[in-house]
Amino acid sequence: MSFGPAFDAKEQVRQAVDIVDLVGSYVQLRRQGRNFVGLCPWHDDSRPSMQVNPERQSFKCWVCDLGGDVFSFVMKAEGLEFREALELLAERAGIQLRTPSSPFEGESGPVRPEDDKRTLYRVMAWAEEQFHRCLLGAPEAEPGRRYLTDRGISPEIIRKWHLGFAPDRWDWILERASGTEWTPPILERVGLLRRKEMGGGFYDWFRGRVMFSIRDARSRPIAFGGRVLPQLAAERTAKYINSPETPLFSKSRELYGLEIARENFKAGGGAIIMEGYTDVLMAHQYGIDNCVAVLGTALGERHLQLLRRYTESITLVLDGDDAGRRRTNEILDNLLALFEKNQIDLRILTLPEGIDPCDFIATHGSDPFRQMLTQAVDALEHKFRTVTNGLDTLADTHRASQAAEQMLVTLASIRQAGGASSQSLLREEQMLSRVARKFHLPEESLRTRLSALRREAGGRKTSPPQARPTTDAPSGSPVPKLTDLPKSDRDVLELVFLDPSLVARLRPIIEPATMTSNAGRQIYAACCRLVEDGWQNDFGRLLAEFDDPAMKNLLVQLDESCQTKLTADRERWLADLLETSRRRGEETADRKRLAAARRQGSDAEQLLAQFCEQSKSKHLTEFERRKK
C-alpha cells in the first residue's frame, strides 16, 4: 500500500462522495431505520436486499453476499478497474486528479505516455475528431460520403454517431499527428498505426475506409470499425476491419451503440442485437433506437454481464444465410445456458434469406421491421425449430432420435446453469411434452434420459464457463471469505472494529505479524497504522485502505458480524485475547529453544524431558489458576 500523492486523491474523493448519493443514482433507495434499502442491481431482486449504511459508508447485498464502499460499488457497476473507478468518482465530485498515473505505474520511474490509459483515451478522441471532420469536409472523402448517401444514412446520424473517413493513404493519420503530442508509439498502442515489418517506421491501419466510432458505455471513443469503400473492395481481403485488442478495447466486452441505445432499452422492450454497424444506424434513424451490434465476435458472457446492467430481455437478430444459421446453432446451447444463468430472456429472430436489415428498413420503413421483430421466438423454441426443420419423424427414425437427444442435451445444460427456478421448470415441462409429441416418444422415458444426462454433466463438470467477477482480484493468495478467516484473527479484528481505541492496548502484545492469515495481517496492520494517525472509528476510511474489492467485501462482512456483538464485554474479550497470545508466544519460544538446542547437538533426550516437565507444570499452574 502506498501513501503517495495518489493516496491523497483517493482520500479526497472518498470524503467527497457519499455512498447513499452514489448507490441512489443507480438504484432507488428508501430509508429503513438507520440504513437505506433498495433493489440489488446484480440479482433478480424482488424485495430490497441492497442495504446502504451511511454511517459506515458501506453497501451490502444479502443475497449476493457482496459488500464494499463507493469504489468497489462503481467498479462492479461499471466494470472498471480501481484506478478507473477513482477517476470516475473524482470526475463526479469535481476533483482534479493531479498525478499522472496508469495501471502500469510503479516505482520504476515515470510512465511512458503510451502506457497511460488517459493518454490513450485522449488520442482516440482526437482521432475520432480527425476522421469525422475529414468525412464532413475533405474533398478526398467524397467516396465515403457517397457510400453513406447510397446506403441512406442521414446527415443527422453521421453527426450523432461521429462517423468518419480514413483516406486511402499509408500515412494519413501519421501525418495529421506529426507535430502534435501523439507519437507513433501512442498511435500504435491504440491500433491506429502498425509497425513496418522491414526497414522500421509505421503505416496507417485504416485506409480507404468509412469509419465507425466505437465508444464505451461512458461514451469515450475506444476503437473503430472500418468499412472498405466499394471501389476498393476487390483488392482488399476484408470488407470490415476493427481496431485490434488494445488496453482500451476488447471486442468480447463491447457493443456498438451501447452508450446511445441503453437509454432506450426500457421503452423499447429490451435490447436488440444486430450484426452490422449500418444495421444499427439505420434502425436508429428510423426510431428503433434500442439496437446495438456485436463487434465481429459472437455474443458471449462478457456482453451479457454488460447488458444485464440495463435490461433483462434481449432479441438477437440473425442474417438468414446458411453461414449465419450455422454460426448460431454452434453457439446456441452455450448461449441458452448463459442466458439462463444470467436470468435474461433471449429471443431470436432469423431474417428471411437475402434480407439485410439496413436495406430493408431503408426501403420499407420501421413498421414492417417491427412487425418482423414480433415474430422473434424464445431461444428454446428456436432450437426446437432448428432441430426439427425439414425432419420427417416417422420416416427418418435415426435422425429423429438424434434430434430428440439434442433437445434433451440442451435442456440438461440449461438447468445445469440456471438452477431450478419455477419459470425454467415450467418451460422444461412444456418442452418435454412437445418433444414427446413431435417424436412420438413417451414423456417418462425422455425424463429418465434427461436426468441421466444431467447427472453426467454434473459429474464431468462441463457446464459453461463460470461467470468471472468483473474485477479480477490480484493474483497471489486469494482473499478468504469471512467463514474461512481463522477464528483467532477474527477475534482480534472484530474487537478492533468495535473499539479502535483498544489497539493501543493490543498492539504491545499482538503484532500484525503474529496474525495467522495473510488477509488478517493486512487488515490488522492497516488498523494499527490508522490508529497511529489518530483514527477514531471512520469505517469508510478503513475500507479505502484497500483497493481490492474482495478485501473490501471481507471488511464489510466482518463489520456486519460485529454488529451482533455490540453488547459483548470488551474488557473480558481483550483480556482473553492477550492471555491466548501470551501463551502462544511462550509455546513458540519453547519450541524454538528446543530446536536450537537440538541443532547444537546437546543431549536431546534430556532436553526433551526437561521441556515436557516445564510445560506440564506450566499447564498445571494454569489449571490451578482457572479453578479458583
Indicate whether 556 belongs to the interface with Zn ion (CB under 5 A): no
Q: How many CB atoms lie within 10 A of CB 437?
A: 11
| Residue number, 64 or 597, with CB nearest to Zn ion | 64
Span 150-189, contacts to Zn ion by CB under 5 A: none
Query: Closest separation between CB of residue 48 and Zn ion, Å?
Result: 10
No. of helices (H) and no. of strands (E), the chain: 27, 16
Query: Closest separation between CB of residue 133 and Zn ion, Å?
Result: 46
| Residue number, 64 or 93, with CB nearest to Zn ion | 64
Rounded to 10 degrees, what is the CA torsion of 398, 403, 404, 409?
A: 130
Indicate whether 43 belongs to the interface with Zn ion (CB under 5 A): yes
Cα separation, 117 vs 101, in Å, equals 8
Query: Closest separation between CB of residue 89 and Zn ion, Å?
Result: 21
Query: Closest separation between CB of residue 47 and Zn ion, Å?
Result: 11
Span 55-84, contacts to Zn ion by CB under 5 A: 61, 63-64
| Residue number, 64 or 578, with CB nearest to Zn ion | 64
Angle of helix 379-388 relative to helix 322-342, nearest 10 degrees, comes to 140
Supply the DSSP string of 346-414, one letter for each residue. Answer: EEEEEPPTT--HHHHHHHH-HHHHHHHHTT-EEHHHHHHHHHHTT--TTT-HHHHHHHHHHHHHHHHHH
Which residue do the cell numbers 414423456 mark? 443
Task: Check if the beta carbon of residue 502 is closer than 8 Å to that of residue 574.
Answer: yes
Indicate whether 26 belongs to the interface with Zn ion (CB under 5 A): no
Query: Closest separation between CB of residue 497 and Zn ion, Å?
Result: 23
Cα separation, 553 vs 561, in Å, equals 12
Query: Closest separation between CB of residue 14 and Zn ion, Å?
Result: 23
| Residue number, 11 or 78, with CB nearest to Zn ion | 78
Instruction: Compose the 327-356 pattern: x for residues touching Zn ion by CB under 5 A, - for all others.
Output: ------------------------------
Indicate whether 42 belongs to the interface with Zn ion (CB under 5 A): yes
- For residue 225, the SS3 value is strand
Among 9, 22, 23, 40, binds Zn ion (CB under 5 A): 40
User: Which window, 36-44, 221-229, 285-293, 523-531, contacts Zn ion (CB under 5 A)?
Assistant: 36-44
Cα separation, 249 vs 240, in Å, equals 17
Query: Closest separation between CB of residue 53 and Zn ion, Å?
Result: 16
Angle of helix 82-93 relative to helix 117-137, nearest 10 degrees, comes to 70
**Up-side HSE of residue 519: CA atoms within 13 Å toward CB?**
26
Strand-pairing partners, residue 315, are 272, 347
| Residue number, 73 or 172, with CB nearest to Zn ion | 73
Query: Closest separation between CB of residue 81 and Zn ion, Å?
Result: 22
User: Which window, 53-61, 222-230, 484-492, 562-570, contacts Zn ion (CB under 5 A)?
Assistant: 53-61
Q: How many CB atoms lie within 10 A of CB 605?
A: 8
- For residue 221, the SS3 value is strand
Q: How many CB atoms lie within 10 A of CB 564?
A: 9
Residues 6 or more apart in contact with residue 582 via CB below 8 angstroms: 509
Q: How far apart are the first and last CA of the chain?
A: 47
Rounded to 10 degrees, what is the CA torsion of 176, 178, 181, 184?
A: 90
Query: Closest separation between CB of residue 28 and Zn ion, Å?
Result: 15
| Residue number, 41 or 464, with CB nearest to Zn ion | 41
Query: Closest separation between CB of residue 50 and Zn ion, Å?
Result: 6
- For residue 271, the SS3 value is strand
| Residue number, 64 or 136, with CB nearest to Zn ion | 64
| Residue number, 40 or 351, with CB nearest to Zn ion | 40
Cα separation, 239 vs 230, in Å, equals 9
| Residue number, 43 or 529, with CB nearest to Zn ion | 43
| Residue number, 285 or 305, with CB nearest to Zn ion | 305
Query: Closest separation between CB of residue 397 and Zn ion, Å?
Result: 48
User: Which window, 41-49, 70-78, 464-472, 581-589, contacts Zn ion (CB under 5 A)?
Assistant: 41-49
| Residue number, 60 or 207, with CB nearest to Zn ion | 60
Indicate whether 111 belongs to the interface with Zn ion (CB under 5 A): no
**Contact positions vs Zn ion (CB under 5 A):** 40, 42-43, 61, 63-64
